[in-house]
Amino acid sequence: MAVMTYREALNDALREEMQRDPDVFLMGEEVAQYDGAYKVSKGLLAEFGDRRVVDSPISELGFGGLCVGAAMAGLRPVVEFMTFNFAFLAIDQVINSAAKMLYMSDGQFPIPIVFRGPTGAALQLSAQHSQACETYYAHAPGVKLVTPATPADAKGLLKAAIRDNDPVAFMEGELLYNFKGEVPDDDDFVIPLGVAELKREGGDVSIITHGKMVHVALQAANKLAKDGIDADVLDLRSIRPLDVDAILRTVKKTNRAVYVEEGWAFVGVGAQIVATIQEEAFDHLDAPVVRVTQADVPMPYAKNLEIMAKPSADRVVDACNKVLYR
């Protein structure tokens, strides 16, 4: 096992897949000469040249659409959005073109394309740059949605996403790029999409989450352990496809569940998870499922207000105590 940062794991995945398949190419703002806004594409231009690592204009709609066309022609584009907040400008190409093309062409045009970049809040980037964008993309059939929380997951899931023949929205945690962790040395290390992972095992309460919030959930679980409460922490890793079996297993084991997400509560990912648990495991619940989310406001710029708006380990602990009737 090698220890590397989240960004290095993504870089490894891109390099290995570009070496493996000459049809894979990367396009986005500053991905070539500047090595990427977050240095995820560092060194790729020198190795693969400017026909496979392509700097784009500041036009997400334009280069997003160009890459959808490239996928229709048989290539395997990886589109880097500097942030998924900017990808709203290209959502027409993702949802109306990439997601629907296979269906509308009666199977003639698979779209093997990855739309990747950071999502969620960083530190004082204010309302327009701090949104957790999962719900917008998870809502539409035809797009797969992946949210890795660790360097190992980042590498294994990105390789799987690039090899997939469907469009994949690959959302990276903006504050995770420097996060370090162990990654298998195998250059063919691939994690299948749609398979959740139990990041921590316990029997008293299930904390279900995805993306950057996995780390908040683990912090909360450590706090709960000091009070003698053992929490399962289930990392979904993929929102679409969703590992329903893993969700039901942990709920049936602990009989209590808390869902944690960085986005807003209204029509959020957690609403789907709660509905799934209610439909499939209602008789196993000893308490209503509780959600921990961002406050229902645009993200404030002021640091003290930003901290209050974000989900925290203490809020997760409070939610777990609530479902445990403590």
For 127-179, what is each residue's pLDDT tens digit?
Answer: 999 999 999 999 999 999 999 999 999 999 999 999 999 999 999 999 999 99
What Rg do the C-alpha atoms of the chain give, in angstroms? 19
Topology adopted by domain 2-183: Rossmann fold (3.40.50)
16 is catalytic: no
Do 2-183 and 197-323 come out as alike in CATH topology? yes
60 is catalytic: yes
Catalytic residue from among 8, 29, 60, 262: 60
Q: How confident is the model at residue 186 (pLDDT cuts 50, 70, 90)?
A: confident
Express each pLDDT in 63-83 by its tens digit: 999 999 999 999 999 999 999
| Residue-level pLDDT at 41 | 98
Q: Structurally, what CATH architecture does the domain formed by 197-323 represent?
A: 3-Layer(aba) Sandwich (3.40)
CA-nearest of 74, 133, 138, 64 to 97 is 64
Is residue 292 within 8 A of residue 315, CB to CB? The reply is yes
CA-nearest of 172, 192, 40 to 119 is 172
Catalytic residue from among 129, 139, 197, 280: 129
Least confident of 118-122, 158-162, 253-257: 118-122
Q: Cβ of 100: how many Cβ atoms within 10 Å?
A: 16
Q: Structural domain boundaries of the chain?
A: 2-183, 197-323
Least confident of 22-31, 76-85, 180-189: 180-189
Is residue 69 within 8 A of residue 106, CB to CB? The reply is no
